[in-house]
Structure 1
Amino acid sequence: MPISDPGFYLIAVPAVIFLGVSKGGFGSGADFVSMAILALVLPPGQALGLLIPLLLLMDLANLRAYWGKWDSRIVRVLLVGAVPGVALGVLVYRIVDDDAVRVLIGAIAVLFVLWRVALESGWIRPPRAALPEGVGVVAGLVSGFASFISHGGGPAATAYLFSLRLEKTTFQATTVLAFWVVNILKLAGYVYLGLMSVDLLVTDLILMPFALFGIWLGIKAHRLLPDVVFFRVAYVLLLIAGGKLIWDGMT
């Protein structure tokens, strides 16, 4: 049976739409707002398992919209690191409990906001020259691990991609392809850990139309809405949800 609590859908539907908007229009930088919110009302493992089929669906929709516009060399660099990063995530998840995962998710959320604020305030300046591929591999490693634990692998990859000064659409297409592959690897890991279930898949079918609507809305917003407006909303949501998860995990 799918999740039947109406209160769950009051939280899940906006979270899934926001996830679609982020995936469809603004790269992978704020995808995990949805994960942080869902982890407030579900056990972290259940939230991870619930979102991965929707992420893969959104990836497919995005691949069509951005087909062939990515930089294949950069995708390969990120994946060289992301594969062992996902494997590390599987290992860590096996040895920690739900409260530790809540703290990890909350910490990633808060650190992401602090990094973006520092970047936009000029306290941290992007490198003037493109970072070497070795840094991209490390960014892929961090992204793969963080993505497995929290669906929040965007920041490390984004930091590397920023240094390459990519055109906006190339940046978006590159993240879409890279994280599509990462999400396939994550799905295999979640199945191995027993985080997937028939009940969650049926719940995904209920949420699927909202995911697709979010993708459509994100593609439109990509052309019309300044990034700064979207991310300001994301910052507020991440600080609230991340702080609550850290509190819940520690208490």
Structure 2
Amino acid sequence: MNTMTLWHISAWEFAALAAAAMLVGFSKTAVSGANTVSLAIFAAVLPARASTGVLLPILIVGDVLAVLTYRRHAHWPTLWRLFPAVAGGVVFGTLFLMWADDGIVRMSIGAILLFMAGVTVWRRRQVTAEEEPDSVTSRAGRIKARSYGVLGGFTTMVANAGGPVMSMYLLSAGFRKLGFLGTSAFFFLIVNVSKVPFSVGLGLIDGRSLLLDAALAVFVVPGALIGKVAVNRINQRLFEQLVIAATVLGGIQLLLR
């Protein structure tokens, strides 16, 4: 990766990245998965492969804030059930990044964003259908956990886009709001930290990218604080509709770029 391209951004582009960083913080403490919009912004401003490396430390900052906020509400049996399958997905995603060039990664991120938008719509329909969720201890629940785990690991490694996959899984497993936020906070903190050595080995994270992260990380904090205040007041349906629309537009923009 030519990291010097990270310094060739205008003031408006930096402002867009800062807004995306604030949205990361907001999504971590209010609406998990909303940071797919941040993914689209980062991939539009920066080279596609570089964007995944720059975004990862920003996500980790948001994860730490989410853990500090909701640490008492995590459900660890669910986390331990997911991690082995997620690890397989992360390895698969790493192998993909070793093979794919910037154009393929950009198109893949665009396709993943569109897929994530479809996943989110499906998740909302499942929730409104008021069907009985599968028990996480049943055979069907274990198969579901493995399937979502592999897909979540792959999408989070390739495009930092595992949020909607895990959101759908946790909601289908019957998690309430605080349990959902606490479990997802620990899940993504552990998974994202485990991705750092892979990203460094692939050349996606280096000294220059970390300097840009340091400049952007300060914007995650106000986003997280706003999310903490808004989580009990936000109109979830309207916000998800806006996120879906922005995600679709971001995915199309990347595919046509």
Report which stretch shifted further, 2-11 or 144-153.
2-11
- The answer as to 2:31 corresponding to 1:26 is yes
Q: Choose which of 14, 18, 22 in structure 2 pairs with 1:17.
A: 22
Task: Classify 1:237/1:68 alpha carbon distance in 2 versus 1 (closer, same or farther; 3 Å).
Answer: same
**Conserved? CA contact 2:43–2:51, under 8 Å:** yes
> Under a length normalisation based on structure 2, what TM-score does the superposition of the two structures give?
0.89
**Counterpart for residue 137 of structure 2:** none
Please list, as runs of the form range in 1=range in 2, the aligned pairs for 1:92-241 lying within 5 A after superposition. Answer: 92-120=96-124, 125=129, 128-130=132-134, 131-241=140-250
- Structure 1 residues 184 and 166: CA distance shift in structure 2, 3 A: same
Q: Hey, which bits of structure 1, 4+ residues long, moved more than 4 A?
A: 121-127
d(CA) in 2 for partners of 1:147, 1:205: 21
Question: Take 1:162 and 1:234, find their aligned partners in 2: how far apart are those partners?
Answer: 18
Whether the aligned pair in 2 keeps the contact of 1:78 and 1:157 (CA below 8 Å) is no
Structure 2 CA distance for aligned equivalents of residues 20 and 219 of structure 1: 9
- CA–CA distance in 2 between the matches of 1:170 and 1:88? 29
Alpha-carbon distance in 2 for matches of 1:55, 1:121: 28
Equivalent-residue separation in structure 2 for 1:20 and 1:65 (angstroms): 12
Query: After the TM superposition, which of the residue ranges 121-130 and 48-57 deviates more from structure 2?
Result: 121-130
What is the letter of the counterpart of residue 13 of structure 2?
A: F
Tell me which amino acid in the other structure corresponds to 1:184.
V
Q: 33, 43, 60: which one pairs with 1:56?
A: 60
Cα deviation, residue 209, structure 1: 1.4
Q: Spell out, residue by residue over 1:5-26, the C-alpha distance to the aligned partner (whole angstroms, 9 max, x if none).
A: 2132121111111111111111
Q: CA deviation at 1:232?
A: 1.9
Task: Judge which range, 80-89 or 222-231, deviates more.
Answer: 222-231
TM-score of the superposed pair, with normalisation by structure 1: 0.91
Q: 1:82 to 1:120 in 2, by over 3 A?
A: closer
**Could you tell me how far apart the structure 2 residues matched to 1:239 and 1:33 are?**
9
Partners of 1:201 and 1:116 lie apart in 2 by 31
Counterpart CA distance in 1 for 2:163 and 2:63 is 14
- Give the number of aligned pairs: 247
Contact 1:126 1:163 (C-alpha < 8 Å) held by counterparts? no
Unaligned runs of 5+ in 1: none
Cα deviation code 1:173-208 (max 9, x no counterpart): 111111111101211110010111211111111111
Task: Determine if contact 2:23/2:223 at 8 Å carries over to the other structure.
Answer: yes
The residue number in structure 1 matching 2:88 is 84
**Secondary structure at 2:45 match in 1:** coil
Q: CA deviation at 1:172?
A: 0.9
**Structure 2: gaps (5+ residues):** 135-139
Q: C-alpha separation between the residues in 2 aligned to 1:110 and 1:26?
A: 18
